[in-house]
Amino acid sequence: MNWARLQLSGKNGLRRDREKKEVLAVKIDDVKRICVVGAGNMGHQISLLCALAGYQTVCTDISEEQLNKARGFTAQYLPERVAKGKLTKEAADAAKANLRFTADLKDAVNDADYIIEAAVEQLQVKRSLFARLDELAPPHAVLATNSSYIVSSKVADVTRRPAKVCNMHFFNPALVMKCVEVVKGPHTSEDTAELTMELARRLQKKPVLLHKEIRGFLVNRILSVLSREAMSLYDLGVASFEDIDSAVENALGHPMGPFRLMDLTGIDLAYLSRMEGYAESMNPTDMPSPCVVAKYSKGEYGRKTGKGFYSYS
């Protein structure tokens, strides 16, 4: 596909070419290059996961500091896995060679076949990003969002390729957690949903498919019922957050209680996603709990800042 020709064609040509773009199906074996947008908590691990699976991967972020952290993580993680006997030296070297980092979005998406957006959980940021990605990425590329709560129809409408937009939701830590939720919006084509399910399998994940869009998908909807009750019990002074975590871990068998988990996933994410939910529903019960608001306003976001409900050295 000659992208330059598409851009240069006249008005009618452009319309025809846009229609053509909608049906440019990508087959899984044609997916060779992946771009991950966002190098934070999720993006740095999703990028490494793709590189380990043999994809030419570019990780991009607006923050050089985040890109440097992601580079540092990769430089430490790969030799550690080799030392533990979990990865061969050859596989580690191949993954390293497959992965590059850049702050230049245009350069990052230029020849991507599949793009996974893992930027901050703010609808406006994602909408601007998707418009830009649609402009810069090759017409055949799929645009997926790793958002924890936002359905892809909220970003698909700013693109000229809604059929190629979907949710591909990884869990934290992305290198470890097996589940990936693939959500098919009303605009998402069967081809895009199937391709995304297969891509997740090739990344050694166990994907699940949602046939309908719903805010928070499966896992976070189920989890939020538990964590809302846990926050409320803490806010009411019924028990300490440590004891609530201990009860959930030792009575319900969860690997982490809700406070420990929120420290891992980010209290900023919990706050922002609740605020986005509230903006949508205008239902006061969707507002973040007072203990989350207090932590967010102090900048205590959890592990990433060294302090959340717990302290980290």
User: Catalytic residue positions?
Assistant: 148, 169, 181, 220
Count of positions on this chain that bind ligand NAD (CB under 6 A) = 27
* Shortest Å, Cβ 291 to ligand NAD: 18
In the complex, which residue's CB is closest to ligand NAD? 40
Output the DSSP codes for the chain: --HHHHHHS-HHHHHHHHHHHHT----GGG--EEEEE--STTHHHHHHHHHHTT-EEEEE-S-HHHHHHHHHHHHHHHHHHHHTTSS-HHHHHHHHHHEEEES-HHHHHTT-SEEEE---S-HHHHHHHHHHHHHHS-TT-EEEE--SS--THHHHTTSS-GGGEEEEEE-SSTTT--EEEEE--TT--HHHHHHHHHHHHHTT-EEEEESS--TTTTHHHHHHHHHHHHHHHHHTTSS-HHHHHHHHHHHS--SS-HHHHHHHH-HHHHHHHHHHHHHHH--GGGSPPHHHHHHHHTT--BGGGTBSSSB--
Residue 98 interacting with ligand NAD (CB under 6 A):
no
Residue 61 interacting with ligand NAD (CB under 6 A):
yes
* Shortest Å, Cβ 272 to ligand NAD: 8
Selected from 47, 57, 98, 146, the binder of ligand NAD by CB under 6 A is 146
Which residue's CB is nearer to ligand NAD, number 13 or number 72?
A: 72
Selected from 118, 156, 182, 262, the binder of ligand NAD by CB under 6 A is 118
Residue 162 interacting with ligand NAD (CB under 6 A):
no
The window from 23-31, 115-123, 134-142, 192-200 that contacts ligand NAD (CB under 6 A) reads 115-123
Beta bridge partners of 169: 181
* Shortest Å, Cβ 89 to ligand NAD: 29
The window from 2-10, 33-41, 51-59, 289-297 that contacts ligand NAD (CB under 6 A) reads 33-41
State the first-to-last Cα distance of the chain, in angstroms, to the nearest integer. 51
* Shortest Å, Cβ 62 to ligand NAD: 4
Residue 181 interacting with ligand NAD (CB under 6 A):
no
Considering only CA atoms, which of 201, 204, 185 is closest in space to residue 193? 185
Selected from 53, 123, 125, 158, the binder of ligand NAD by CB under 6 A is 125
Which residue's CB is nearer to ligand NAD, number 92 or number 258?
A: 258
Task: Retrieve residue 96's tokens.
Answer: 């390293």
Residue 39 interacting with ligand NAD (CB under 6 A):
yes
Selected from 28, 62, 247, 287, the binder of ligand NAD by CB under 6 A is 62
* Shortest Å, Cβ 82 to ligand NAD: 26
What gap in Å lies between CA 151 and CA 159, rounded to an integer?
Answer: 15
Residue 266 interacting with ligand NAD (CB under 6 A):
yes
Residue 102 interacting with ligand NAD (CB under 6 A):
no
Name the site residues for ligand NAD (rule: CB under 6 A): 37-43, 61-63, 66, 118-121, 125, 129, 146-148, 169-172, 265-266, 269
